[in-house]
Structure 1
Amino acid sequence: MRLAVPDLVSPSYFPAIAAIDLGLAREEGLDVELELLYPVTDAAEALRTGKIDFLAGAAHAPMHVFPDWHGAKLVTALSQNMYWFLVVRPDLEVDRGDVQALRGIRIGAAPGPDLGLRRLLAAAGVEAGQIEIGPVPATEGAGTSFGLAAAQALAEGLIDGFWANGMGAEIAVLDGTGKVVLDARRGNGPPGTEAYTFPALAVTDETIARNPDAVAAMTRAVVRAQQALKADPDRATDVGERLFPAREATLIAELVRRDAPFYDPRITAETAAALVAFGRDSGLLEEPVGYESVVSERFRDLWHA
């Protein structure tokens, strides 16, 4: 089977990556191939057409290609809360959390994740058009790790800031080419914005019906990976050394250590309702849908394994 992530060199979808690389999926009886497929909107389309079996990406991604959530389900959270950082040039006079000071700058954001930033800015009273949000140069095509490309574009002066994963943010901060001004996951944005979306494992209804044992096995593997990484974040280094460039391999354990408190597989009714509201506000859903349309309740017991 095939599992796709839209960004490999990052902590964003790491429990799913570790579930495969540490052999946990294999121990559950699955032979799963890990694939990088950017952007997440293309990965969601690959899920819809059956080119991949699992998508480890933003929880709202299925809404881009499954109208009104028909045909796909989330089976587990990879972690909780919206997980991208807004990083800007260090010379900009923008204090942490000061969204109003962001007007007039160019921010790079990937398709899909950009909706989280747009809604966050709208919640802060920043009108559309006051900030330029668009693609990051040199991030087209397969094989791209968006966060690293965004950090490089910021260092080269091609953009004023970027909205990306923790690895890209960490590289920019360590190199002195960027500073973090928004971290919604940890309450650094307008109230409620942390609940817009979260990393999740999605599958099609067809896969659930045809191969429920495989979906259950992958869910168990992810939960085991979360538990293993929370117990020993340094295990992330082993994964990084096999999959990441050398520098990023040395950084991933610390990023996982910071994110470990959010490694909770549960998708509560409140979490799903916030996700649906975000989808409607972003124009991805025409009508509200219930919990059972978003989350497969068949696998909920596995979250507590």
Structure 2
Amino acid sequence: MRLAVPDLVSNSYFPAIAAVELGYLRDEGLDVELDLLFPVTDAAVALREGEIDFLAGTAHAPLYADPDWGDMKLLASLSRNMYWFLVVRPDLDVTRETLAKLHDVRIGAAPGPDLGLRRLLDVEGVDLDTAGVTIAPVPGTAGNVSFGVTAAQALQEGKIDAFWANGMGTEVAVRNGVGRVVVDARRDGGDAALFTFPALMASGRTIRDQPDATAAAVRGIMRAQRELRADTALATQVGRALFPAMEAELIAALIERDLDFYQPAVTREAVAGLTGFARASGLTELGLGYDDVVAGSVRSLW
């Protein structure tokens, strides 16, 4: 079976990455290949078309494949809350409190995650056109690269003024002195924290035709979350196997910060935030409910 992630060198989807690399899915009887498939909007189409069996990505991804949500379901939360950071060059005169005054900046953001930033700025009262704010993909992020780390490099080189990305890219930028965190969506609170979250998902076809494998995948993810909570050194083990050297030594610290969010249950509050965000952002016109987006067959496992 194939499990795709849109960013490999990242803490965003790490429980899924760890479940494969540490053999937890294998222990559940699954032969799973981990694939990098960027951007997540394309990965959602691949899931719809049956080219992959599971996707570890942003929870609103299915709407890029079908604005009616289609035959895809969320199986588990990889961690809670919207999980991206807005990082700006150190000299940019903006703070979380003055975000509404953001103007004349180039922000790098990946397709899919970019919608979370657009909605956040809209709520803050930023009119992108009037303010001269552009949000676009970062040059050089196509292919087998980490979006966040590449964004940090682009910020350092002056190709962009800010980026919206995962904790790994944020950590690299801050440690190198080329970036400053303005927004930590997961921890800042407010409605934006509930716009989306990282989730494991599958097509309805996989859920119906392979219920045992679907349940096994959820159990493997949950084991990864438990084991990482118990021993963050496991993150370094995974990082050294898959990441470049610098990022491999950073990942355990990032995972430790996120441990409280490693909860597999997809709550009704999370789905209400997700579907409200999707409607407000124009991804769908439907009033999707909990049963429309969350697989019923695996809920008892959480």
User: Do residues 182 (structure 1) and 183 (structure 2) align?
Assistant: yes
Pairing 1:265–2:264 present = yes
Aligned position for 1:164: 165
Runs of 4 or more, structure 1, over 4 Å off, are: none
How far apart, CA to CA, are the structure 1 residues paired with 2:301 and 2:232?
A: 22
| Secondary structure of 1:67 counterpart | coil
Identity, in percent, stands at 60
Deviations 1:242-277 (A, max 9, x none): 000000000000000001110011111121111111
Amino acid at match of 1:242: A
Deviates more, 1:93-102 or 1:44-53: 93-102
Following the alignment from structure 1 to structure 2, what is the Cα–Cα distance between the partners of residues 99 and 254? 28
Query: What secondary structure, in the 3-state scheme, does the structure 2 residue paired with 1:162 have?
Result: strand
Which region of structure 1 is more displaced relative to structure 2, 18-27 or 101-110?
A: 101-110
Matches within 5 A, 1:124-203: 124-129=124-129, 130=131, 131-140=133-142, 142-187=143-188, 191-203=190-202
Q: Offset at 1:233? A: 1.1
Distance in 2, Cα, partners of 1:213 & 1:126:
47
Determine if contact 2:82/2:193 at 8 Å carries over to the other structure.
yes
Asked if residue 103 in structure 1 is aligned to residue 103 in structure 2, the reply is: yes
Aligned partner letter, 1:30:
L
Aligned twin of 2:45: 45
8 Å contact kept, 1:98–1:181: no
Other-structure match for 1:211: 210
Query: SS of 2:151's equivalent?
Result: helix
Alpha carbon RMSD of aligned pairs, Å?
1.0
SS in 2 for 1:57: strand
The C-alpha deviation readout for 1:257-299, integer Å capped at 9, x for no partner, is 0011100111111211111111111111111111111000210
Contact residue 269 and residue 291 of structure 1 kept, 8 A = yes
Secondary structure of the structure 1 residue equivalent to 2:68: helix
- Map residues 57-136 of structure 1 onto 2, 5 A cutoff: 57-129=57-129, 130=131, 131-136=133-138
TM-score calculated relative to the size of structure 2: 0.97
Could you tell me the TM-score, scaled by structure 1's length? 0.97
For each residue in 1:161-203, what CA deviation from the matched residue of structure 2 results, as whole angstroms up to 9, or x when unmatched? 0000000000000000001000010016xx2100000000010
Superimposed CA distance per residue, residues 105-162 of structure 1 (whole angstroms, 9 cap, x where no aligned partner): 110000000000000001111113221111111112x212100110110000000000
- Partner SS, residue 7 of structure 2: coil
Q: Name structure 2 gaps, 5 residues minimum.
A: none
Residue 254 of structure 1 corresponds to 253
Residues 197-218 of structure 1 deviation map (CA, whole Å, 9 limit, x = unaligned): 0000010001101101111000
Task: Report if the CA contact (8 A) 2:62-2:70 is conserved.
Answer: no
Structure 1 residues without counterparts, runs of 5 or longer: none
- In the aligned structure 2, how far is the partner of 1:265 from the partner of 1:67? 25
> 1:97 deviation in Å?
4.4
